[in-house]
Structure 1
């Protein structure tokens, strides 16, 4: 249920007092009635008003006599900053600095001691940051109305343990673009871990007046794959471009999000992967050791997704297709791992193929859509139960591979199934159906409404 809106000045409370009416008794004498007594209620409100005025005056004097402004804070002409962002001081000298970066000098200093919140910045202004690779996170965030921008990661061979971030203002007609190293508060002596981009929320302006940025993130690479810490973005309309980093970098976490712009990953590896977008495609190759989550809306999810050990993959979308090839690997993990794969959609199809699965491993797979097709191809190593439910159409099941035993033991494949109304269920495996100990655990559940529902055993 939607919450009631609240005024920016806070909620207004109203007091409703009781109304007293006095009915005079009949007068049986001629002498005038005595003067009315002072109302206790009126006197009480009058005294309360006097006390309130006195407190207000005392508050005003205290504020001006005993409270001093921080010397690093100075006013700016745009009052609509989002001050709720934790750890960000929008007016601090070390937050609003631009040094008019000169490419010939390659300055990487984040502080030059000068700032002006009202200063105009022309298109082409550049700025440079460095983030130590020892930082626990490399975080990039944006706030406020920013027009479509770009965010690109570039691997470079370097013996320096630092990430270099170059920022170019590609559009800023109002001169309001701001950039900030994180953490940005003057009293915080912590190590720098990221960069923020933001603009004030101007009233009655369209995106022509919003600033735009081009961000290049240079990540150092070594002769062999190196482990780096958490790479995080919380960027609005910043197109994400990641090259092939799989052979050189393994992040502990890859948590990235954007909206209205594409997100492309040529090949990126991390222990934990979370990608979130909206209104633009998410494409590419992602590899994870534990969790791999991709969510989108209104544009397609298309990619190749790999788990290197026991873990889960979750793909969710709405109003646009999901197309995925899934690789499940075990390495030297014993006993064989269990994998959990889930895909959900609405008003758009799901098409998933499990390209690899270790023999003897367990796969627990769920996929559902509404008014759109669901097509799933399972690897020959899958063994277990399956259930397909489609209210308005008959589900379709096909066994493509009947005798090519993935374990190389010459076993034949068996399929048992039963159809009841809109549901088709059954079991598939290799060897004797009666030898439960011989078969790996697994379960597949697929459902949709009014569209093709198909399961293929490759």
Structure 2
């Protein structure tokens, strides 16, 4: 398993004492002889559990990406008798409530980035004229750094496109956005500053909207417009910027090393394209994709959420203080290395990790964990393996459930990560398809950091490395 690089600029409490080369103990008690009269019953129960789990998971994945148009959407009334490409609805990323009869950039006049799914029934056109353009045209926008958000959104059938961030040295207090129209055979696409209708107070631009209307008759993807978005971000000096948000369909996301810039939020969504993050730092992070890989190095203060389907998630994830990590996938590997940090010496941080998948493995490595911190991991899979490697600082209970296969627990002796020369103790039990136990440093009656690990799968390897 290839491990992404580790960011060097977030050092805190981590295990730095070299491990003592002691023997490795494979603790996998032999299962009891099978009882033939219960064999069919166990297989029947396992099948029911698998059907329920996969049905629930795939329904969740489906509703994440397909958003039906509401009854108040003029497009639905205008084109309800025509058959559109079956792929179009999955690329809209849930943007509705637009005034599809408006001209020019007025289509975005009533778009609310905080509530993009909410329909505005009283929308009226601002009457802006449609901007005509041809292939290879470029538009340039500037967003003030003081803006709370830098928002990029698209709606409608758009062919494979891209958004790329580039760090630049600049004294100007603005983010410059350059949009190149790679193709637009029918001349229907609109590139607009958000908000498009400035009021008397002169609202500042906070983002860019790209709109491609659905035409009355089906047309192939070769007729869809395509774009290249380049965002020039002032970098260096530990700049703190607002929220970077994208709701872009088939726009490949390319983020270089931005580790010297901190966003208050990173919230990005796409579909059918890769999303790569060389190094991005934000107070909270959310990445959504489908049918496209997610990879890179993501650093968050307290919240990190990654959702995908039908493609791999391979990343290095860092929490710089107590917080949560949520990972969801289906039919695609989850392969992550987690670094848990804390600079607060006065309190015990608690960390939570949830990882769920189906039909593909989960590989989770906790490479760093503060001493005396609480770690709570819950991972579920179906027809896919789970392999969890914990840091020596972990203390707490573990519970493994594996229907139709045996679980494996591997215990390695390590030096005390706190430097207090404590002994490490393991209690271990196995009964049926369940394996339980707990691990701790020092005497049983001494105070220990809370923690728990719950792993569950069906019909696939289940391995815990302590």
Report TM bin, short chain.
0.7 to 0.9
Alpha-carbon distance between aligned partners in 2 of 1:415 and 1:354, rounded to the nearest angstrom: 19
Q: Please identify the structure whose Cα radius of gyration is greater.
A: 1
The answer on whether the counterparts of 1:87 and 1:183 sit within 8 Å (CA) in structure 2 is no
Q: Distance in 2 between matches of 1:368 and 1:424?
A: 15
Report what 2:426 is aligned to: 415
Kindly indicate whether the alpha-carbon contact (under 8 Å) linking 2:357 and 2:381 is maintained by their aligned counterparts in 1: yes
Q: Secondary structure at the match of 2:259?
A: coil
Name the TM-score, length of structure 1 as normaliser: 0.75
Shift of 1:275: 0.4
Q: In 2 relative to 1, CA 184–88 (structure 1 residues): closer, same or farther, beyond 3 Å?
A: farther
How far 1:336 sits from its partner (Å)?
A: 1.9
Structure 1 gaps of 5+ residues are 11-81, 97-112
Aligned residue number for residue 267 of structure 2: 255
**What is the number of equivalent residue pairs in this alignment?**
363
Q: 1:91 to 1:6 in 2, by over 3 A?
A: closer
Q: 1:130 aligns with which of 142, 160, 163?
A: 142
Name the stretch that deviates more: 179-188 or 412-421.
Answer: 179-188
- Aligned partner of 1:297 among 303, 309, 320: 309
Is 1:227 matched with 2:240? yes
Which residue of structure 2 lines up, in the alignment, with residue 195 of structure 1? 208
Please list every run of 5 or more consecutive structure 2 residues that lacks an aligned counterpart in the other structure: 1-58, 79-93, 109-126
**Shift in Å, 1:90:** 4.2
Corresponding residue of 2:384: 372
TM-score, reference length from structure 2:
0.74
- Give the aligned CA root-mean-square deviation in angstroms: 2.6
Identify if the C-alpha distance between structure 1 residues 94 and 332 changes in structure 2 by more than 3 Å, giving closer, same or farther.
same
Q: 1:443 aligns with which of 452, 456, 460?
A: 452
Structure 1 residue corresponding to 2:232, chosen from 201, 218, 233 = 218
Higher RCO, 1 vs 2 (CA within 8 Å, ≥6 residues apart): 2
SS in 1 for 2:222: helix
Q: Is 2:100–2:213's contact at 8 Å kept on the other side of the alignment?
A: no
User: Which of the numbers 251, 254, 261 marks the counterpart of 1:238?
Assistant: 251
Question: Is 1:87–1:184's contact at 8 Å kept on the other side of the alignment?
Answer: no
Separation in structure 1 between the aligned mates of residue 394 and residue 433 of structure 2, nearest angstrom: 24
Displacement of 1:368 after TM fit?
1.0
Partner of 2:399: 387
For residues 297 and 419 of structure 1, the distance between their equivalents in structure 2, rounded to whole angstroms, comes to 34
Q: Within 5 A, what are the aligned runs for 1:354-369?
A: 354-369=366-381
Residue 183 (structure 1) aligns with: 195
C-alpha spacing 1:151/1:231, structure 2 compared with 1 (3 Å): same
Q: 1:156 to 1:89 in 2, by over 3 A?
A: farther
Contact 1:325 1:355 in 2 (8 A): yes
Deviation at 1:403? 3.9
Matches within 5 A, 1:208-357: 208-222=222-236, 224-247=237-260, 249-357=261-369
Q: Quote the Cα distance in structure 2 between the aligned partners of 1:412 and 1:198.
A: 63
